[in-house]
Structure 1
């Protein structure tokens, strides 16, 4: 059957050649054989000249041929049921939209629901990518819940304030990063479409938006006690200096850990009005080690671009030894969490959930494909569940001491 269909396909292509020969014969003077062939080949090099569709009827020996002109010039396309015979030119044209479209950012709910003028600012703050907010908020929630009086629920008003603050500070951090890294972002495939790097927003517009975000963040900070205000404001030194670290050291992920987990100190201070080093310092350290795990995995997405551009990361520093390094960081993270919980007198549910969190972190490290950008991103995003497991353990450990 396949040979039978193929023979009809060849016959159909031959008919097409004869059709062109008849058309060319009407030219006065008629072209030579070589001219005809050259003209035919030039037509075949252009896309979508004719499309031939050959459909098999209920009888094996009867076929229905549909022939229609799509454009004045193009190539033959012959369809035999599920088989597709086309010229190389048509294949190249089919691939062009895919290649051209690969660099365009995926459409998010921002592009559907927000007014057009607000969309670049929403993209600048990454509000359509909540994982960054989760990673910033979880250490705050751990600390606030750990600071609660035993057998009582945490302060929900305080948690709401810190949730709002995490959203604002994360957005401000993204804005600062994009303003300072716009030249680098233009050279990296994953970041070249960001609003400032692509020119959708000017640096001045970005600065104005940053001032707006920080003003809202200040309104949240002023709701806290004086000690927390000073402690919270000091974190801005880390936020503003972090983007420079990738130019100076192979350990920007460690610096990000110091920045992103400041809430482990601030949450306790907001509830208690002071710091208890035996509890908050191991909690803070656990967050830093956790960040070294997830952000090293994340950095493997850009390692080729980082080498070309000339920026540094732990992904480049560790190379083929990455899994050994992040395994060590994961163990240090779980150990620090256990030590902090022990000093805070948390009950047994905390340790049960800590075992579950250890399994989640171990699953990330063991199964991540560091050569796959998609898998690195999946493992990175999954860290919201690690944070949720630790939070649930602290909550139940505080309720049932």
Structure 2
């Protein structure tokens, strides 16, 4: 009788800082971006000076504006991009790997060149751009964190849009009736949990296709919230749709740091909660027993079941937590930004958050950075239109999705989700 051993695929908790890429994808991505830079910034280069305004008039420490000649600066930055592309080709040809830092540096140089080119002859309010980015990104961060938790346990969470929208509606109504924004946040959390439990019941208990369930739930929530808005909220807006908003709170000392302080430390409580949520989800997933069990269920549920982990219960609880996090983000729309509920006000941000999960490779920190990228691109189109830049707004709307495609194709290497994500499992 011969004994056999079975190897169980596992994933390492620690992530390396070097991303392994194919022999051709990274240099091709670098070369295509460098060629686009030559065409955009050199062939169709723009003249005039670009002024980067780094401080607001009310800041305690004033930073002088940075004024650079647009054509010269973009030409130099384009040369740097070409050099980085050549470096990537050389690294790959010599059998070495292209690190994540090379991709990050390339992206930063390209962004600097684009901003200089787009704002030629105008003044770009950098501080306003960054503050707006944090605000727009906040619900995306909560949605992306909910997506990471859910998919790490093996349930594809396409219903992030419904969780955000449901949280926005309930938070507005509860806060309006009670006069307490805190009560509104709790209501938003409850709404997110309710939507996520519907997802869990159909996906985990009845084995319905998780993507289809998520899409159907999104359509259901959109229809339900639109009906309630048109038939209930608009009839008595003063009572049901006039919630008190969270005011911005300055963190003493930190809020006075030039550029960084006004961006990150003059925000509302919901934004500060996003900072805490990112750290909590990261520590919970990678440094607690709960996170280890959750990731084991998402990678190899049969092995987890063998050692006594109840797969169904673990998935139910994790999906509920994910819904609570996403619902919390929905409260930002009504209690932190707009001040009232509007029909379909999430505007597809749940789907963008799902893209951030994939872009961030199912890691809470990377998904947060991806959400900030989407928020930056969205806010940039508003800022460029205000300053009178000739860059078409449609181009800016395309930018985050183009960046995602390019990054997944070459800059972040092979993208692999949890092995059991989307797969039903029957416990023994």
Which has more radius of gyration?
A: 1
Same fold (TM over 0.5): no
Bigger RCO of structures 1 and 2 (CA < 8 A, at least 6 apart):
2
Question: Which band: TM-score by shorter chain?
Answer: under 0.3
TM-score after normalising by structure 1? 0.26
TM-score after normalising by structure 2? 0.25
